[in-house]
């Protein structure tokens, strides 16, 4: 009997103590830059592995309360695991893969341990096209100056940090570009976004072609975050 209660106490301690501690410390420490993001991810992976180990043990011994934390953690992390297994390991997405918007401000803001800002080229473009074939520039029946204001509004609404606005230094063809930094909700990973507005004369008026690029500073795979960010932003811009 004493062995049973000791085992039950140990199972509960691991489920309600060590398991959440690994996950919380991994996320918080990475978000507050206490250590490299790789260590934070390793702690979360360790929590995932521990959950896989504890869940069958808790179910086998009918310790339903001890099974609850592993179930919750696995439910939380499973979508990320699924994306990692099914999506290509890329972290730089652009609606224009031939001439992507340059990450000018990002080049100044990124550190030595971050990815460079040069676009990887045809291999990256092929991977993107195979996974997100409908991701393309958006053409709207408004002049660039009008869309420029809408873009600024959407950036502010999303809580992104504006890092560059070339309105005061426009090119000869009135092309504009804005850049911003986005921080992920969980780990606080920073991604750089560039939005380019190019006027298009259709003969019946001036339209604007909107190109957007979103690129992660760290990590091999973005788990689809950059493509989803572009899709959602352009959808909101079109509906405004």
Q: Encode pLDDT of 64-115 as tens digits.
A: 888 999 999 999 999 999 999 999 999 999 999 999 999 999 999 999 999 9
Measured CA to CA, the distance from residue 162 to residue 156 in angstroms comes to 8
Tell me the per-residue pLDDT of 4-54, one tens digit each, with 9 for 90 and over.
Answer: 445 576 778 888 889 999 999 999 999 888 999 999 999 999 999 999 999
| pLDDT of 206 above 90 | no
Same domain, 69 and 101: no
- DSSP reduced 3-state for 88: coil
Domain housing 200:
92-239
pLDDT score recorded for residue 4: 45
97: domain CATH number is: 3.30.310.80
Residue 187 and residue 77 in one domain: no
Do 57 and 103 reside in the same domain of the chain? no
Widest pairwise Cα distance in the chain: 87
pLDDT band at 186 (very low <50, low <70, confident <90, very high): confident
pLDDT of residue 184: 92
Considering the domain architecture, whether residues 14 and 126 belong to the same structural domain is answered as no
Residue with tokens 């890092």: 163
Domain count of the chain? 2
Among 67, 86, 105, which residue terminates a domain?
86
130 shares its domain with 214? yes
| pLDDT tens, residue by residue, 118-177 | 999 899 999 999 999 999 999 999 999 999 999 999 999 999 999 999 875 555 567 899
Q: What does pLDDT average to over the chain?
A: 91
Q: Which of 86, 112, 130 is the last residue of a domain?
A: 86
End position of a domain, from candidates 30, 58, 86: 86
């Amino acid at each position: 009997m004493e062995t049973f209660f000791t085992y039950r106490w140990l199972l509960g301690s691991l489920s309600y103590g060590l398991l959440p501690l690994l996950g919380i410390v991994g996320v918080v420490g990475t978000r507050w830059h206490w250590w490299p993001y790789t260590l934070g991810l390793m702690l979360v992976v360790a929590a995932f592995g521990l959950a896989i180990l504890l869940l069958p043990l808790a179910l086998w011994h009918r310790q339903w309360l001890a099974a609850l934390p592993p179930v919750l953690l696995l439910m939380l992390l499973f979508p990320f695991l699924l994306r990692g297994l099914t999506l290509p390991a890329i972290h730089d997405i652009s609606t224009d893969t031939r001439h992507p918007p340059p990450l000018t401000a990002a080049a100044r803001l990124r550190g030595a341990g971050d990815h460079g800002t040069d676009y990887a080229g045809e291999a990256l473009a092929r991977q993107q096209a195979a996974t997100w074939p409908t991701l393309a520039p958006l053409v709207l029946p408004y002049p660039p100056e009008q869309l420029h204001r809408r873009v600024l509004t959407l950036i502010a609404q999303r809580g992104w940090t504006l890092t560059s606005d070339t309105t005061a230094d426009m090119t000869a063809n009135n092309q504009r570009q804005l850049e911003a930094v986005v921080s992920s909700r969980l780990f606080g990973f920073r991604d750089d976004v560039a939005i380019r507005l190019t006027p298009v004369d259709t003969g019946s008026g001036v339209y604007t072609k909107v190109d957007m690029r979103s690129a992660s500073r760290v990590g091999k795979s973005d788990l689809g975050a950059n493509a989803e960010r572009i899709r959602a932003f352009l959808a909101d811009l079109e509906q405004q």
